[in-house]
Copies of this chain bind each other. A is one copy, B any other.
Amino acid sequence: MSPQDLAAPLFRKLEAIATVPDDDKALLRKLRIATKHLGPGDNLVVAGDKPQFSALLISGMLCRYDVVASGARQIMSFHLPGDIPDLQSVFLRTMDHSVAAIGPATVGLIPHEDLHHVFERSFHLASVMWRETLIDSAIFRQWIGNIGGRTAIVAMAHLLCELVARGLSVGLIDDDMKFRLPLTQQDLADALGLSLVHINRTLRQLRRAGLITWEPGLLTVLDWPGLQAAGDFDPAYLHLIKR
């Protein structure tokens, strides 16, 4: 795969949220990107690491997580192709959480040095990427409200809505509303702070309500407006409209 192809998911993502002039694209094409493959559950970085690279997700799915004293794994975000989940490590040297693959994934490692160079050369690109990290923040905030203020079934519907809305925005879902997700029910449990058993019962409720079907690796949305209503979902926080 050529460097251009590697950067393609990044362009698609950036153009979903901002306008990217040609000279900025030229700068991005000069980034040195080293491909790396990850197996299911493999850690990309671990809390305490001081990485010299940030990872652009090319295919598959990543999550950020941390482990609390009780031993529970708390997932704080899921990432789709085009995301750079640990972009923060350019400015915060020590990782305060871990990043791992959900299912098999391919990432492109970009040296911090290169990113720093790009940001200094183009304040516009820096601000687009800054904006990117601020949208991450908005997603974290929503996640807090989801876990703290909603019941299991509403929270589950909201989480699925977020994934679908983001998947739609980067073209991962066709009109058939089928979404290939390597998530296990344990992953959902760790994300919502609920038990595996309760996740299973909650998914069954959503299935019986005719909103979704769930097979391992494949989410199908049967009633998109209905799912959004069930999840108290308003996509405004994803800031998908270009400024």
Binding site for B on A (CB under 8 A): 64, 66, 68-70, 72, 74, 76-77, 88, 91-94, 96-97, 119-120, 123, 126-127, 130-131, 133-138, 140-145, 147-150, 154, 192-193, 232, 236-237, 239, 243
Contact = CB atoms under 8 A, between A and B. Distances in A.
This protein's copies in its complex: 2
A132 B48 CA distance: 19
A122 to B, nearest CB: 10
Q: Is the interface of A mostly helix, strand, loop or mixed?
A: helix
A232 B69 contact: yes
A243 B77 CA distance: 26
A69 to B, nearest CB: 4
B130 A92 contact: no
Given A69-B232, A148-B193, A149-B193, A239 B134 contact: no
A236 B74 contact: no
Contacts of A144: 74, 76, 140, 143-144, 147
A10 to B, nearest CB: 18
B147 A147 contact: yes
A234 to B, nearest CB: 9
